[in-house]
Amino acid sequence: MPTCNECGEDFDSERGLHVHEAQVHGDSSSGSDSPSGSEGYFSFELKAAHAILLAFLIGVFAGGFFMSTIDSFTGVTGDTVQAENQPSQQDTQNNDDPSPTQNEAVEDTIDPSEISLEGEPVLGQSDAPVTMVIYEDFECPFCKRFEENAVPQIVSNYVDTGDVKFVWKDLPLPERVHPWADDGAAAMECVFREGGDDAFWNVKDEVFANQDQITESNVYDNIKQYASEEGVSESAIQQCLDNDNPMDEVNADKQGADSVGATGTPTVFINGKKIVGAQPYSVFESVIDSELNG
């Protein structure tokens, strides 16, 4: 008669003994031949840690490869874009700092007739003896500084007196640097076409005043809103954008800028004398006075 080695119980057959051992003593029997629960859990944790470490290393490698690939395609790094968008320490100095002399400020002199003025926004009297052609980018922070610091004084002291007239030219930087500059220039061309000189110059001031709030997604809506406050309907601006190819004029300004050596913004030509950058008012005052008295 077979007897259970675990508990000493007797059975009529080997089959009965086997069934008994499986049902009553199965857990303890199997436990003696297999790893304990804690050992199995430790093994699982170790494997999981290895898997996490491997995934991390793959992610680091793949991320570095991806970023280096992007840089190689664009040719631009984050530092480059920041440098092109942000004023330098020297440029952020206030207007009380020593200014360049006229000879230092004027980089070049061209024949004024090389710049086409036909069909451009004009501020001031048409027969003013001094013409300031201004190449600007609506998204450019240097242009914003020029517009806020020097332009109001020039307007008050020279444009309003009939001595100077402004002529606007578009020179938006590439989209990778200034994402909404092209769209802003096109919309402003439509403001000029639909509302004339006064509407253009007033809306221009609003765009620069609100430059930090304008984005790729809202540039059209903002400019249409500013134009509506000047009596130009939003629908007229939209129809111009959709049907009248305003970017053709913007691109023509870009090509003209290249031909006269205007490569950055703001670039100003005062009767052909080239001044680059957000210079303090005194620089423009000196050149204007020289033209008026010369």
- Cβ-Cβ contacts under 8 Å for 80 (sequence gap 6 or more): none
Q: Which helix (H) or strand (E) holds 71?
A: helix 37-74
Tens of pLDDT, residue by residue over 249-265, are 999 999 999 999 999 99
Q: Thinking of the domain 102-293, which architecture would CATH place it in?
A: 3-Layer(aba) Sandwich (3.40)
Query: Contact 132/269 with Cβ under 8 angstroms?
Result: yes
Return the DSSP state at 7.
T
Pick the more confident residue, 288 or 294: 288
pLDDT at 25 over 90: no
Tens of pLDDT, residue by residue over 167-221, are 999 999 999 999 999 999 999 999 999 999 999 999 999 999 999 999 999 999 9
End-to-end alpha-carbon separation of the chain, Å?
133
Pick the more confident residue, 113 or 60: 113
**What's the confidence (pLDDT) of residue 70?**
34
Tens of pLDDT, residue by residue over 44-85, are 444 555 555 555 555 544 444 433 333 333 333 222 233 333
Query: Contact 219/185 with Cβ under 8 angstroms?
Result: no
pLDDT at 246 over 80: yes
- Cβ-Cβ contacts under 8 Å for 207 (sequence gap 6 or more): 138, 184, 188, 214, 222, 223, 226
> pTM of the entire structure?
0.67
